[in-house]
Amino acid sequence: MRNGLVTALLALMLLIPVHAAEPINDTAALAGVDEAKGVFQIDFTEAEKTAFYLEVIRGTHANFVRQGLDPDLVIVFIGPTVQFLTTEAGDDVADPATLMRIESEVARLAELGVRLEVCAVATEVFGVDNDTLFEGLDLTGDGFVSMIGWQAQGYHPVTMF
């Protein structure tokens, strides 16, 4: 009985046409595009969300590379997000594991050549000592000025909040 069932299933499978899965890509959006310049503005109040989206941005970088483009990406951190970018963040700010994820993603992104800027206005407002920012982060005078400057240089804005 069992051998007959297996034989019937195999025969049925041979009758069903097999289609190779088409790779999912961004061919339509990238038609004629020869450079991938983007600036992400991050303004989150939750450490977990910050860690998650840094991982997503790293994936976006990889997707550009996979599709033949050399991405030129910048991340500008503003607002309360700066509280998650310091070696001095306490347990009251976020759990240590999430802060370690953020620090790890900052390092990975910096290694890929992504520029990561932290708004000095925000660090002042939220009481973050600039000398305690994670390795790989660059301090910028004003995150809004930075966003405008990068856009004027042809970087396409991606606002995240």
| CATH homologous superfamily of 35-160 | DsrEFH-like (3.40.1260.10)
Residue 160: pLDDT above 90? no
What is the C-alpha to C-alpha distance for residues 149 and 44, in angstroms, rounded to an integer? 22
Domain-wise residue ranges, the chain: 35-160
Mean residue pLDDT of the chain comes to 90
108-137: average pLDDT: 98
Residue 1: pLDDT above 70? no
Residue 146: pLDDT above 60? yes
Residue 92: pLDDT above 90? no
Amino acid at 118: V
Task: Please work out, in degrees rounded to the nearest 5, the angle formed at the alpha carbon of residue 29 by the alpha carbons of 28 and 34.
Answer: 110
Reference 77, options 105, 138, 49, 119; nearest CA is 119
Residue 145 pLDDT level (bands cut at 50, 70, 90): very high
pLDDT in tens, 8-65: 544 555 555 555 677 789 999 999 999 999 999 999 999 999 999 999 999 999 999 9
Reference 74, options 57, 55, 87, 86; nearest CA is 57
